Structure 1
């Protein structure tokens, strides 16, 4: 699909995507972010859009999937902090646990791209191994090795940083 055709056929869908995104998120800012991600995804696959009978349905599906991914990620982040710190803990302990989660997120960002992606999908977004292998195209052995290396590196970096913080 040529850029002018994309502008003529896909850009009008944007307003309908915004309405649906607001329904899904309940927040204008998050809705705008989601729609922007969908538009970028559609732009990146513009050469394949001619093969789709209904580009609007495709856009709505992408929007729903991205919203589900965000919801899942947020839920898992909340659960990880709550799992680390039970309800009876003090505000200071909860803040420290949140700091630890942010530190781990920072460490994950520094991993090699494949390890980071696999770790995020498995541990933060809750994907199953089969789904990760289908998305990344790696074998079960490669998945296991990359996940193990990522976990080991995260653990080592976390210990190194937190130990230097205490000293």
Structure 2
């Protein structure tokens, strides 16, 4: 195979080889790398290619195999990302347990608030009521709603900060 025949084969096959590689690898950069490797192999082994009847099938098989190799070579990174729970959206058992502990601590902290502050906090921050709606339901002034809400949030911050410091000190 000479350079003219090589160019003719590569120019004709390149778009279909790129499509196959892109489909398998999932991105254009890896597909370009794979097709470039195949083109180099075609050139390096040009004296052997006369024995193949279907050059396109042979080149497609090479692209397929190299694409799979490319995916396998990046697999350890994917495993690390999955272990961190970032790619799959799943959380590791440790982080799930930590979140549960924090939610429980916050719930206990809220239960330590006076009943009116608990109710106003629940209505405003959890149920999403506006201050005017809370005043109508509770029968207290808007200023009292804001003051109680402010006190409740401040107390929650203080108690949670103490909880967090204690947790850090015991670890």
TM-score (norm 2): 0.45
TM-score (norm 1): 0.46
Instruction: Specify the structure having the higher radius of gyration (Cα).
Output: 2
